[in-house]
Amino acid sequence: MNNLLVTMHIRAEPDVVLVRQRARQIAVLLGFDNQEQTRLATAVSEIARNAFLYAREGQAKFFIDDSAPARLVILVSDRGPGISNLAVILNGRYKSETGMGLGLLGARKLMDGFRVESEAGVGTTVELAKILRPQEAGVTPQFIMRISADLAALAPSSPMEEIRLQNTALLGALEELRAKQDDLDQMYRKLADANAQLENKAAALERTAALEQAARSTAEAAVATREELLAIVSHDLRNPLNVIVNCAHILQLGAMDGNDADRVYKSASTILRSTDRMVRLIADLLDLAQIQAGKLAIKQEPQDLAGLLSEGVDMLRPLAASKKLALDCACKPGLHACCDRERVLQILSNLVGNAIKFTPEGGAINIEARAHGRTVQLSVRDTGKGISADELPKIFDRFWQSQNKNGDGIGLGLSIVKGLVEAHGGIPWVESKPGAGTTFHFTLPLADQPNRPSPSAVVAHQSMRAAASPPG
């Protein structure tokens, strides 16, 4: 929108000077530097002089255009004979001994915007534009009022009637700006209220969408878990049950035909192995269900890690010896952790059991415990095949199994390890490279920490902790 600052008539030579003065005054008020003030005043005076020379009279109007970018616009118009060869002049091809056309070209070079309309017998209008400084780019009614008022104060000495007319026009413009300002203020208040209502509605919609998404995710997770459990029950539990049934038939037949005890012993051993696998599988499923429900209870008490690790190694050494694997542990005497002894033995059993599965004969497995700040860091290191980089992020996911799996288990062991470690307030992580072995680490709280749970305290694991980075 164009905001009129002042209109000036050009009827005599002094009026050209007055227009130039006005142009410089406005440039000063708008904050243009000296060079820009000179360029603006020169360009406006050249066009005003053309209006007086070729039409004997004209008019100059000064506006502020508040569109982006904000500009000072000067319209100089006359009702003279018009410019018949305008296109030639603007292209710079016109040659004149009197200098006609040079004023137009010179003014165009000095301004940011330049436009000419001319019609024979009707007259000529020249539009000059200068882009305002960046800090003045936000043109407001208050800004226009301030410029208009300052401009009125700078009115040059001239006939009293001219001053009265100009002041009347200026007061009218100011009154119009005040009315527009009132309208704008009212509009701004309405927009602010509308925006506040929209923001409240948007926030409510976002909360509703988040709740719906969370409920959908929970439902999808429950369905997925149910399907996984159904698959486990239908496959992994059915297999050992079939073995038990078949062995029972063999025992029955052996008893009927009087076969020797060796056959009975082998069948009974097979039944025991199958039932043991079922018991372990059911225990794992129960542990996983408790972890996911946040109801896993652990009994944290000060434990001597040297004795705990020794017990774990003694329990697992026969299994390691069956594959000719060396199994050792290292722990500084007197190192105590605040933990559930049976649960830590379960963690070690799962980790060492995995290491035995994936370590070739003749390899080695080492268990180490050492103090690390306020925690104890335990590590189970093997010399096995290692884990590929694309499998490492999934290693603790439930029901996940390596591509190198040997068919034993359903992928719950490491997920349970993660849940048990986090129930103690610890962090599990793994380091591995294909062909260079694997090391599983986890932390437990030191028994002598100031804020450790008191002995015999039963700690309920309320929720699975978010995955965290290992200690540095």
60: pLDDT strictly greater than 90 = yes
Question: Could you tell me the CA-to-CA distances from 76 to 65, 128, 355, 423 in Å, in that order?
Answer: 16, 8, 92, 84
Distance CA 80, CA 55 (A): 4
Counting DSSP H helices and E strands in the chain, the numbers are 11, 13
Given a contact cutoff of 8 angstroms between Cβ atoms, the answer to whether 358 and 391 are in contact is: no
Residue of 164 and 357 predicted with greater confidence: 357
Given a contact cutoff of 8 angstroms between Cβ atoms, the answer to whether 358 and 409 are in contact is: no
Q: Which residues pair with 73 in a beta bridge?
A: 63, 129
How confident is residue 103, by pLDDT bands cut at 50, 70 and 90? confident
Given a contact cutoff of 8 angstroms between Cβ atoms, the answer to whether 9 and 15 are in contact is: yes
Task: Please state at what angle helix 261-293 crosses helix 238-257, rounded to 10 degrees.
Answer: 160
The structure tokens listed for 24 are 């410089």
What is the b/e burial string over 337-372, where b = at least 16 CB atoms within 10 angstroms of the residue's CB?
bbbbbebbbbbbbbbbebbbbbbeeebbbbbbbeee
Distance CA 78, CA 49 (A): 11
How confident is residue 220, by pLDDT bands cut at 50, 70 and 90? confident
Q: Where a domain ends, among 124, 158, 192?
A: 158
Q: Where a domain ends, among 158, 175, 194?
A: 158
The structure tokens listed for 246 are 């078949």
Burial of 83 (0-12, 13-18, 19+ CB in 10 A): buried
Q: Say which DSSP state 283 is in.
A: H
Note the pLDDT tens digit of each residue in 325-350: 999 999 988 999 999 999 999 999 99
Q: Please check whether residue 42 lies inside any domain of the structure.
A: yes
Same-domain pairing of 154 and 299: no
Q: Please check whether residue 469 lies inside any domain of the structure.
A: no
Distance CA 136, CA 28 (A): 13
Note the pLDDT tens digit of each residue in 243-301: 777 777 777 666 555 556 676 777 777 777 667 667 667 776 776 677 776 777 788 99
377: pLDDT strictly greater than 60 = yes
The structure tokens listed for 295 are 């109801």
Q: Please check whether residue 229 lies inside any domain of the structure.
A: no
Given a contact cutoff of 8 angstroms between Cβ atoms, the answer to whether 348 and 310 are in contact is: no
Distance CA 333, CA 305 (A): 8
Q: Please check whether residue 93 lies inside any domain of the structure.
A: yes
Given a contact cutoff of 8 angstroms between Cβ atoms, the answer to whether 325 and 334 are in contact is: no
Count, residues in the chain: 472
Q: Please check whether residue 457 lies inside any domain of the structure.
A: yes
Q: Which amino acid, 300?
A: Q
Note the pLDDT tens digit of each residue in 415-424: 889 999 999 9
Query: Which single residue is written with the structure tokens 């309309």?
Result: 117
What is the reported pLDDT for 411? 63
Q: Please check whether residue 26 lies inside any domain of the structure.
A: yes
222: pLDDT strictly greater than 80 = no
How confident is residue 470, by pLDDT bands cut at 50, 70 and 90? low
3-class secondary structure, 411: coil
Q: Please check whether residue 467 lies inside any domain of the structure.
A: no
Distance CA 80, CA 193 (A): 54
Same-domain pairing of 300 and 152: no
Query: Which single residue is written with the structure tokens 């080695």?
Result: 364
**Number of domains within the chain:** 2
Per residue, what are the HEC states of 105-125? Answer: HHHHHHCCEEEEEEECCCEEE
What is the reported pLDDT for 260? 65
Given a contact cutoff of 8 angstroms between Cβ atoms, the answer to whether 71 and 131 are in contact is: yes
- Please give the radius of gyration of the chain, using alpha carbons only, rounded to the nearest integer: 46
Average pLDDT over residues 134-145: 74
Q: Where a domain ends, among 158, 179, 200?
A: 158
What is the reported pLDDT for 143? 85
Q: Which amino acid, 69?
A: P
Distance CA 281, CA 311 (A): 23
Distance CA 280, CA 290 (A): 15
Ranked by mean pLDDT, the top range of 62-66, 258-262, 396-400, 465-469 is 62-66
What is the reported pLDDT for 136? 54
CATH no. for residue 301?
Answer: 3.30.565.10
Given a contact cutoff of 8 angstroms between Cβ atoms, the answer to whether 111 and 44 are in contact is: no
Residue of 4 and 169 predicted with greater confidence: 4
Distance CA 72, CA 68 (A): 12
Domain of residue 308, residue span: 295-461
How confident is residue 102, by pLDDT bands cut at 50, 70 and 90? low
Q: Please check whether residue 54 lies inside any domain of the structure.
A: yes
Q: Which residues contact 136 (CB under 8 A, 6 or more apart)?
A: 30, 31, 70, 143
Given a contact cutoff of 8 angstroms between Cβ atoms, the answer to whether 76 and 58 are in contact is: yes
Given a contact cutoff of 8 angstroms between Cβ atoms, the answer to whether 131 and 116 are in contact is: no
